[in-house]
Amino acid sequence: MIIYLLSFLVGGLICASGQLFLDFSNYTPAHLLVLLVVIGCCLTGLGIYSQLIDIAGAGVTVPVMNFGFILTKGVLMEVEQSGVLGLFTGALEIASAGVSAAIIISFLIAVIFNPQE
Amino acid sequence: MAQIDKSIQDYKKMVNKHHPQESKLKNFFLAYLFGGSICLVGQIINNLFVFFNFNPTQAGTLTTIVLILIGGLLTGLGIYDELAQIAGAGTIVPITGFANAVVSPALEYKQEGYILGTGTQVYSIVGPVLTYGMLTAMLVGILKLLII
């Protein structure tokens, strides 16, 4: 049960930090998304991210930071198995589902719906 | 010819009076509330998939896909952008916001055609996110190779 509370608290904190970044700088939401993904990659490299997932569950897997996690985790896994080649084969190893889903679903929705006035 | 009888300071005062006063504290808590709630919904969806005997990895992936679908649909219906007016980063940071950022330009440029409009614009936010994500991931991989 505690996982629900923690996912709310940690996820909310990440979003609220993003809000502070937007409010106290002139950067756009696109910059925020890129920054979060890069932070996610770094935290994964340091080995912190999987621990965070154990603690907060969806609180860290729902924010876009998770893209950084799955990209980096794929690279690290493949690098262990196949060395230098893994740098290239790994990036989309785990991320492929999320990336494909985002592109295919978004395209279909853009085809079905019309822009709002 | 009419004379401007306001000094720069007077003018700034007038502008400030009509400028919407956004409370940064209020924005912070709204982002917290909405962002946290979306993550909570994600956790519930995830646990539902686990309940129906998917393994944790599959459940995580399926949750991501469902959230992208929800974010995309709400964007198509025009609801997500209304929410974003209130919740700010609370709706931008979760994966639903990513879906929103992918769908919005694709919808907006639909009139330019399906190839050069929608087809191109789908990548306008996936592009930078994936490029910098892959670059950083590769850098981490190189560091790992060097350390081993």
Q: What is the pLDDT of residues B134-144, one digit of tens each?
A: 999 999 999 99
The answer to whether A106 contacts B110, with C-beta atoms less than 8 Å apart, is: no
Q: Where are the domains of chain B?
A: 26-108
Rounded to 5°, the CA angle B70-B77-B123 comes to 65
pLDDT in tens, A63-116: 999 999 999 999 999 999 998 999 999 999 999 999 999 999 999 999 999 887
Query: Residue written as tokens 């401007």?
Result: B4
Tell whether A73 is covered by a domain: yes
Partners of residue B60 in chain A, C-beta under 8 Å = 61
**Mutation target vs A (from B21, B29, B73, B93; most A CBs, 10 A cutoff):** B93
Domain count, chain A: 1
DSSP letter at B117?
I
Q: Give the pLDDT band of residue B4 (cuts 50, 70, 90).
A: low
- Confirm whether A41 is domain-assigned: yes
Q: How confident is the model at residue A1 (pLDDT cuts 50, 70, 90)?
A: confident
**Residue B94 banded pLDDT, cuts 50, 70, 90:** very high
Q: What is the pLDDT of residues B18-54, one digit of tens each?
A: 666 668 899 999 999 999 999 999 999 999 999 999 9
pLDDT at B11: 77
Q: Does A15 touch chain B (CB under 8 A)?
A: yes
Does residue A15 register a pLDDT over 90? yes
Residue-range definition of the domain harbouring residue A63: 2-112
Instruction: Kindly determine whether residue A8 and residue B138, on different chains, have CB atoms separated by under 8 Å.
Output: no
What part of B 35-74 touches A (C-beta under 8 Å)?
Answer: 35-40, 42-44, 46, 60-61, 63-65, 67-69, 72-73
Cβ-based contacts of B125 with chain A (< 8 Å): 30, 33
CB atoms under 10 Å from CB of B81, counted, come to 14
User: Quick one: pLDDT band at residue B10, thresholds 50, 70, 90?
Assistant: confident
Phi-psi region at B2: left, alpha or beta (left = phi > 0; alpha = psi -120 to 50): beta
Residue A58 lies in a domain: yes
Q: Is A15 within 8 Å of B90 when comparing Cβ atoms?
A: yes
Percent of chain A with pLDDT over 90: 94
CA distance A60 to A64: 9
Q: Quick one: what percent of chain B has pLDDT higher than 70?
A: 93
Instruction: Give the pLDDT confidence score for residue A73 in this predicted structure.
Output: 96
A24-69 tens-digit pLDDT: 999 999 999 999 999 999 999 999 999 999 999 999 999 999 999 9
Angle between helices A2-23 and A29-45 (to 10 degrees): 130
Prediction ipTM score: 0.94
| DSSP for A35-87, written as a single string | HHHHHHHHHHHTT-HHHHHHHHTHHHHSBTHHHHHHHHHHHHHHHHHHGGGHH
| Residue A117 is assigned to a structural domain of this protein | no
